[in-house]
Amino acid sequence: MAGNENDIKEILAVHHAWLESNNDLVIEKMYPNFADPGYLQFNLNGHEYQGPAEKAKLWEGLHQIGFNLSDMKIVEEPKVHAEGDLAYLTTYWSAQVSGDKGTGVLEPDPEPLVFRVTEVYRRDDGKGNQVWKIWHFHASPIASPDLPRFPQEA
């Protein structure tokens, strides 16, 4: 980790609060972690979400169709790089995904979903207050272990 120890501590606190808000998709816990206005997310579902209010609509929709995330965990300790009023964090998360598969019951997938995460932070809440907030979140899938990587590793 690179940067001021207090900044890193504050960034990690936001990161952990954001992770926790994903358990059961709790909108009230999600809002405080993001710059507003200014937040942009590239979601694991392939779509882009502008601002916490649009993100909240996604979570409301997921609740309506019986989709849920639970048992959110950090798979790899976050790496934080902070300099001045900007920072980024990289890590891997896992989540138990469940949904209504036609039975009327939330059924969990057999294996947790593991994916990589990148977060961009600014010491600005979108209104000029000097607090660390997430300005950009990007989640993406991990390549399958049997997928060739180029160039080939020795």
Residues facing residue 34 across a β-bridge: 134
* Residue 152 pLDDT class (50, 70, 90 cuts): confident
> Is pLDDT at 146 greater than 90 in this prediction?
no
pLDDT, one tens digit per residue, over 8-37 is 999 999 999 999 999 999 999 999 999 999
- CA-to-CA distance for 75 and 25, rounded, in angstroms? 19
Look up tokens 């947790």; give the residue.
Answer: 112
Comparing 106 with 143, the larger pLDDT belongs to 143
Question: pLDDT digits over 59-115, tens only?
Answer: 999 999 889 999 999 999 999 999 999 999 999 999 999 986 656 666 777 789 999
CATH number of the domain located at residue range(s) 5-141 in this protein: 3.10.450.50
pLDDT confidence band for 122 (50 / 70 / 90):
very high
The 10s digit of each residue's pLDDT in 36-65 is 999 999 999 999 999 999 999 999 999 998
- pTM, full prediction: 0.90
